[in-house]
Amino acid sequence: MMPQGGGEARGEALASLRGLMHELSTDPAQGDLFEQADREQAAGSLSPWQAANLREMRRAWVRATCIPIELVEASSRAESRCEQAWRTLRAQNDWVAFAPLLSEVVARKRDVAAAWQGPLGLGKYDALLDGFEPGARSAEIDVAFAELRAFLPGFIQAAVERQKSQPAVMPSGPFPTDRQRWLGLAVMAQIGFDFSRGRLDASHHPFCGGVPQDVRITTRYDEGDFTKSFMGVLHETGHAKYEQNLPHDWLDQPVGAARSMSLHESQSLLQEMQVSRGREFLSFVAPLIRQAFPAAADRRPEAFTADNLYRLYTRVHPDYIRVDADEVTYPCHVILRYELEKKLIEGSLQVSGIPDAWDEGMRQLLGLSTKGNYKDGCMQDVHWPAGLFGYFPTYTLGALTAAQIIAAARRALPDLSAQLTRGEFTPLNDWLRERIWSRGSLLGTQHLLIEATGAPLSAAAFKHHLQTRYL
Amino acid sequence: MMPQGGGEARGEALASLRGLMHELSTDPAQGDLFEQADREQAAGSLSPWQAANLREMRRAWVRATCIPIELVEASSRAESRCEQAWRTLRAQNDWVAFAPLLSEVVARKRDVAAAWQGPLGLGKYDALLDGFEPGARSAEIDVAFAELRAFLPGFIQAAVERQKSQPAVMPSGPFPTDRQRWLGLAVMAQIGFDFSRGRLDASHHPFCGGVPQDVRITTRYDEGDFTKSFMGVLHETGHAKYEQNLPHDWLDQPVGAARSMSLHESQSLLQEMQVSRGREFLSFVAPLIRQAFPAAADRRPEAFTADNLYRLYTRVHPDYIRVDADEVTYPCHVILRYELEKKLIEGSLQVSGIPDAWDEGMRQLLGLSTKGNYKDGCMQDVHWPAGLFGYFPTYTLGALTAAQIIAAARRALPDLSAQLTRGEFTPLNDWLRERIWSRGSLLGTQHLLIEATGAPLSAAAFKHHLQTRYL
């Protein structure tokens, strides 16, 4: 909603607030407070929630204090410069101008990782990864990703081959914005979004933001195609339901926050990929879609059947751009980035080597070459220019987690399939609230997942899901 | 835009920020910094803007530090309780339950005023007044208001009498919200609102907020009556143009802020009362209004002529409610409140005496009795329950200031009348930018007004304006 001219003032306000927050969170007086809390814990006078809260507080404090402020600032400056330049250089496909800026970001990020390494007792890459995904270790991710790497390329070929005999019809518009909004609001209410504590708005880049008591999700409407915006709303609503159902009594404390990025993504992917692109939900929602767009549905009824919507929403198509990828090819994009960024941070790959490594990875994983095409290749994402190394794997960890959680929910709720076909979300939401949402950051991610699903994270449920849906 | 459930979290966030701001602004280390700045000023090394900035900083610092925090908190608590209760008690016309809560607010406010009195060297009421209107003194306001008090009651009678022979036709709708919004946006652009640094939105209570680089104004649409919302948009745009044209280089400093509440109100009233309700602007805007509502205009063309709109927008009607008052009766509402609140703070009136005093004042000033009608009488405003003593007079000081400023602008711009008839605002905006807007808080209010209009504030221009327009 902000007019363009407001950006600078907002930036300055945020910088001031960040400065204040940093001062407060690195206040040396906190050392004494932690010692005192440790004595209380040793005396057994902390509840499990209090103890977990202390653990989360210490974690944030250690990360904030064990790194010289000059390093953080040098890293931030390099990132600002690189991200700013990236916005124009990507459009110009200009790798030559971009590479030195990215090299500076990588160099500073290595310094940051090195500073964290000792105090955190982690390898360089893991020190960064742990910032986005507490407790995650690359050694474990390597195992899961290796399994996917061995499985996906052949699987993708088979799925694409199979879908050739199952063409889908694209609904043709126009799809008025207000009708798309009506559809989105109706479905959000149906699946359990609480409108007394949140809103749906429009923005250029869809997101889920705000605070648990006021969750804002956005979408971008295209009057020529409702399908992307509609699925986007469902995805963000998955994030939103997690936020809205965090433990009410602890919302202003670290232990009250969502557990991790992969778990957050698992909730959006569970809603979008596992549930909303499934046959059950699409049979429920097809009549609503026809009600939203009666003229378009009358013109071409075959495009609005649940069967056709299912074919549309499960299309597999290897392509260059991560953000447009389907659930089957998406992990390939992530695995490529994960492998390269690990080497970049550990030092065995330099920025100059990225384009060739990217091209090679894309050929192996998706059978596509990006030679000379930096724009749709190694320059497509904002993450590296913005210094977000260690972030990419959480997308695919989220996909694996979503598959494992919904499989456990199906075992626990034998009627779930029939319920989803009727648009009944209360049983699933209740189950998720109890096992995941309301637990905030009480347990570590792995511990939480074992309690909720009976097993630590693996690729098994995800592979099973893909085989069931696509073959 | 905020959903209801978000209120508590926002309240807590604001309270945290206010606490941090208070800590920063009362930091004892600032004493040394002020001494150092004084030495620099004595050495003549401060520019006029820097010196004015120092003056504004010291003003804020003295006001913040010369009062015990316990007093501020006790006062805040009494106000929260009273304002909260007022929201229901007003609707119930329940003075008996309300009076003790308001007594507590007044008692605490007297304590606050007494604490400021010595350090600021001001009388109790003036110490509060000066918080809203730096440099204003009740002795001067008394003079201007006495002149209005002597003039208005008879003038109102004469104006009402005269308008009996000039009936106005109320346009009848429906006036679709999106057409009202179109009209508002078109006129905002025409009169100089910068949409790259601001927006128009809808809200229950119209306001102008945000920061100078991102000014948000709102209005409330009534599909049965476009006239109120339309004039409301013009009023808020007057506030907005002041904010958007404050001195760019000083926006993050006290000297870069708008000069005072009366001056801010003068800019909205200059836009609304002086210009937009005038014959010149209404001849320009009448065709635009017909373009916005073609069906309604076709049905009843006589309601959409410039002449009829002028009669509508200059209707004089003594009534109970301040916020609905026209520009002629409005000062009567303010004078009444000013006289009572001054006595309340000085101690010569107690809360128990308000209803009788209110009734007596309304009879004298507007010929209306409020006996037993607290709801539309002394309980109608949020100001006193919220502890805003010293705020009311700034509305009428703003009206006097607006009249004096536009009179000076008309002298300086001989073609202004013709320009406004053509909707040309650039010359007037340029003049206001140079004389008022771009000067921020460089000068004191009186000094600024003398430089802009050649004279200190008086009621003369306002009386002249009323006589010209209404008799």
Q: Do the beta carbons of residue A235 and residue A363 sit within 8 Å?
A: no
Q: Work out the pLDDT band at B283, boundaries 50, 70, 90.
A: very high
* Pairing of β B214-219 and β B198-202: parallel
Across the interface, which of A9, A195, A212 has its CB nearest the CB of B213?
Answer: A9
DSSP conformational letter for A226? -
Q: How confident is the model at residue B72 (pLDDT cuts 50, 70, 90)?
A: confident
Q: Which of B5-19, B115-129, B323-337 has the lowest mean pLDDT?
A: B5-19
Alpha-helical runs (H) found in A202-329:
227-244, 261-269, 279-292, 294-299, 306-313
Q: Do A214 and B5 touch (CB under 8 A)?
A: yes
pLDDT score at B175: 97
Could you confirm whether B236 is annotated as catalytic? yes
DSSP code per residue over B394-441: HHHHHHHHHHHHHHHHHHH-TTHHHHHHTT--HHHHHHHHHHTGGGTT
For A203, what's the count of Cα atoms within 13 Å in the CB-facing half-sphere? 17
Which carries the bigger pLDDT value, residue B258 or residue B14? Answer: B258
CB pair distance less than 8 Å for B213 and A8: yes
| A25 shares contact with chain B (CB less than 8 Å) | no
- Helices A48-65 and A95-120: angle between axes, nearest 10 degrees: 130
Tell if the CB–CB gap between A9 and B211 is shorter than 8 Å. Answer: yes
Residue of B197, B217, B248 for testing the chain A interface, max A β-carbons within 10 Å: B197
Interface mutation target, options A23, A25, A197, A243, chain B, most CBs of B under 10 Å: A197
Tell whether the model's pLDDT for residue B447 goes beyond 90: yes
Domain-located, residue B413 = yes
Judge whether residue B15 has pLDDT over 90.
no
Element (H or E) spanning A199, and its range?
A: strand A198-202
B-chain residues near A244 (CB < 8 A): none
Over residues B143-163, the pLDDT tens digits come to: 999 999 999 999 999 999 999
**Cα(A338)–Cα(A348) distance, integer angstroms:** 14
Amino acid (1-letter code) at residue B172: S
Buried b (16+ CB within 10 A) or exposed e, B188-206: bebbbbbeebbbbeeeeeb
Q: Please list every residue in chain A whose beta carbon sits closer than 8 Å to the beta carbon of residue B10.
A: 214
Within a domain: B28: no
3-state secondary structure of B195: helix
Q: For residue A242, tell me if it sits in a domain.
A: no
What residues of chain B lie within 8 A of the CB of A211, using their CB?
6, 9, 13
- Nearest-angstrom CA–CA distance, B92 and B77: 23
pLDDT of residue B237: 98
Across B348-376, average pLDDT: 97
| pLDDT bracket for residue B14 (50, 70, 90) | confident
Let me know if residue B29 belongs to a domain: no
Cα dihedral A47, A49, A52, A57, rounded to 10, equals: -110
- State the average pLDDT over residues B276-297: 97
Give residue B464's domain range. 46-471
Q: How many domains would you assign to chain A? A: 1
Percentage, residues of chain B above pLDDT 90: 89
For residue A198, give how far its alpha carbon lies from the nearest alpha carbon of chain B (Å). Answer: 6
Q: Confirm whether B109 is domain-assigned.
A: yes
For B:179-198, CB contacts with A below 8 A are 194-198
The answer, yes or no, to whether residue B1 has pLDDT greater than 90, is no
Residue B3 resides in a domain: no
Torsions phi, psi for A300 (to 5 deg): -145, 70
d(CA B410, CA B453): 11
Rounded distance, CA A157 to CA A171, Å?
Answer: 26
CB contacts, 8 Å: B6 with chain A? 197, 210-211, 213-214
Which chain B residue is nearest to residue A198, measuring alpha carbons? B3
Which of these ranges, A144-148, B71-75, B96-100, B224-228, has the smallest mean pLDDT? B71-75
Confidence of residue B8 (pLDDT cuts 50, 70, 90): confident
Distance of CA B389 to the CA centre of its chain: 14
Instruction: Please list every residue in chain A whose beta carbon sits closer than 8 Å to the beta carbon of residue B5.
Output: 194, 196-198, 213-214
Q: Report pLDDT for A270.
A: 98
Domain annotation covers residue A213: no
Residue B323, domain CATH: 1.10.1370.30
Quick one: closest CA in B to A199, which residue? Answer: B3
- Give the Å distances, CA to CA, from B220 to A397, B173, B181, B228: 47, 16, 10, 9
Q: Tokens 């208070």 label which residue?
A: B22
Among B56, B83, B133, B236, the active-site one is B236
> What does A98-109 look like in DSSP terms, one character per residue?
HHHHHHHHHHHH
- Could you tell me the two tokens for A371? 């030679």
Asked if A213 is an interface residue toward chain B (Cβ–Cβ < 8 A), one would say yes
From the candidates B2, B196, B245, B246, which should be mutated to test the interface with A, based on the most A CB atoms within 10 A? B2
Cβ of residue A2 closer than 8 Å to a chain B Cβ? yes
DSSP three-state, residue A161: helix
> Among all residues of chain A, which has the CA nearest to that of B198?
A3
ipTM of this complex prediction, to 2 decimal places: 0.80
Contacts of B13 in chain A (CB under 8 A): 211
Whether B9 sits inside 8 A of A198 (CB atoms) is: no
Contact B198 A9 (CB under 8 A): no
Contact between B196 and A1 using a beta-carbon 8 Å cutoff: no
Q: Rounded to whole angstroms, how far apart are CA atoms B122 and A299?
A: 78
User: Cβ atoms within 10 A of the Cβ of A173, count?
Assistant: 17
Is the model's pTM score more than 0.90?
A: no
Residue B2 near chain A (CB below 8 Å): yes
pLDDT below 70 — which residues of chain A? none
pLDDT of residue A399: 98
Please check whether residue B10 touches A, CB under 8 A.
Answer: yes
Determine, for residues B5 and A196 on separate chains, whether the beta-carbon distance falls below 8 Å.
yes
Tell me if chain B has a CB within 8 Å of the CB of A346. no
* Range name among A217-221, B81-85, B430-434 with the lowest pLDDT average: B81-85
CB contact under 8 A, A2 and B194: no
Examine the pLDDT at B274 and tell me if it is beyond 90.
yes
Q: How confident is the model at residue B9 (pLDDT cuts 50, 70, 90)?
A: confident
Are A211 and B9 a contacting pair at CB < 8 A? yes
Does a structural domain hold residue B40?
no
Task: Give the per-residue pLDDT at A37.
Answer: 96
CB contact under 8 A, B214 and A5: yes
Side-chain-facing half-sphere of A66: CA atoms under 13 Å: 17
For residues B276-284, give the mean pLDDT: 98
Check A10 against B195: CB less than 8 A apart: no
B-chain residues within 8 Å CB-CB of A185?
none
CB contact under 8 A, B6 and A252: no
Hey, are the CB atoms on A10 and B196 less than 8 Å from each other? no
Say which of A79, A83, A133, A236 is annotated catalytic. A236
Residue among B1, B12, B198 minimizing CB distance to A3 = B198
